[in-house]
Amino acid sequence: MTEILDGKALALQIKEEIANEVRQLVAADHRAPHLAAVIVGEDGASMTYVANKEKSSHEVGFTSSVYRLPEKISERELLETIQFLNNDPDIDGFIVQLPLPKHINEQRVINAISPDKDVDGFTPVNIGRMVLGEDCFVPATPMGICTLLKRYGIETAGKHCVVIGRSNIVGTPVANLLSRKGFDCTVTMCHSRTRNLAELTRQADILVVAIGKPEFITADMVKPDAVLVDVGIHRVPDASKKNGYRVIGDVKHSEVDSKCSWVTPVPGGVGPLTIVSLLQNTLKAYHKSHE
Ligand code: GUN
């Protein structure tokens, strides 16, 4: 029987845990944790992500601020905003929503974020610490995937985990985390140049799909009773919906799910845990700055 890794329900539970902690801090006359976001331009998906982050911050009692900058802002001006956020003692953590406009060097911007406020875990310092197994901010989506597997008690030790996609945000860090002590998976990482992809995915006890292609994974690519984690989020037009679209993942769930032991739905799987991880990292940054 297929069981659901219910990210929406788990996110609600963890948000309640965070909200309780914030209530206690505020009752003890401390200020609330503060998460800021920088968004450049008006990309629809980015604006939705940032709005969700803001809503979730408020739900747990955090202070939230959003710096909305025009598409044409220069790299120098954006770097000045980042320095301002780095130096503001009332802000515990902040994120710069990606992607950035083409005329801005994304890595230069990420490099300018103070590692102590880098709650996305994107700076070289935090990535280096993660790979070394040191205390750090872990990127939100991989952290959310790890939380889902842990809280649902999914057995991972010695399992063959196949990760599809090698992005800095998801594939590369999740492959690293799941191979480490505590998860102890044997990890195979696949990407656009991988040969015989289906042969590898069919060997996966745990399949993590972060390829960015709608419904790419079909039933013939999945081992019976696999644990399936779908990181994809795509909007497709759907006239039957009030908002005119529905959200689908990288997996063709209509034919794949019944073959699996556990699956993350889309929406309501990995997505809600990504935001929760960002909140958890912000709380951690808050505690570090109050040590
Ligand atoms: N764009 C897509 N996902 C993310 C994320 O997790 N953080 C940031 N900053 N930008 C993103």
DSSP one-letter code for 30: P
Q: Best mutation site among 169, 276, 282 for ligand 1, i.e. most ligand atoms within 8 A of its Cβ?
A: 169
Tell me the HSE value of 262 on the side-chain side, using a 13 A CA sphere. 20
- Which residue, 274, 287, 291, is CA-closest to 92? 287
Burial environment of residue 157 by CB neighbours within 10 A (0 to 12, 13 to 18, 19 or more): exposed
Secondary structure (3-state) at 150: helix
Where b means 16+ CB within 10 Å and e means fewer, 261-291 reads bbbbbbebbbbbbbbbbbbbbbbbbbeeeee
User: Which segments of the chain are extended strands (E)?
Assistant: 3-4, 34-40, 63-69, 93-96, 160-164, 186-190, 206-209, 227-230, 234-237, 245-248, 262-263
Secondary structure (3-state) at 50: helix
Q: How far, in Å, is the centroid of ligand 1 from the Cα of 27?
A: 32
pLDDT tens digits, the chain, 291 residues: what are they?
Answer: 999 999 999 999 999 999 999 999 999 999 999 999 999 999 988 999 999 999 999 999 999 999 999 999 999 999 999 999 999 999 999 999 999 999 999 999 999 999 999 999 999 999 999 999 999 999 999 999 999 999 999 999 999 999 999 999 999 999 999 999 999 999 999 999 999 999 999 999 999 999 999 999 999 999 999 999 999 999 999 999 999 999 999 999 999 999 999 999 999 999 999 999 999 999 999 999 988
pTM of the shown model: 0.96
Binding-site residues, ligand 1, Cβ < 6 A? 95-98, 120, 140-141, 169
Question: CA angle, corner 6, sides to 11 and 280, nearest 5?
Answer: 25
- Give residue 291's pLDDT: 80
Single-letter amino acid, residue 262: W
Please report the atom of ligand 1 found closest to the CA of residue 274.
6
- Give residue 206's pLDDT: 99
- Give residue 269's pLDDT: 98
- Give residue 45's pLDDT: 87
Q: How far, in Å, is the centroid of ligand 1 from the Cα of 49?
A: 8
Alpha-carbon distances, residue 281 vs 66, 143, 166, 184 (angstroms): 17, 10, 23, 23
Residue 165 structure tokens = 């996609």
Residue 13 structure tokens = 């539970």
Please report the atom of ligand 1 found closest to the CA of residue 140.
6
Q: How far, in Å, is the centroid of ligand 1 from the Cα of 258?
A: 31
- Give residue 260's pLDDT: 98
Q: Give the contacts of 9 (CB within 8 A, at least 6 positions apart).
A: none
- Cα gap 26→77, rounded to integer Å: 35
Catalytic site positions: 53, 97, 120
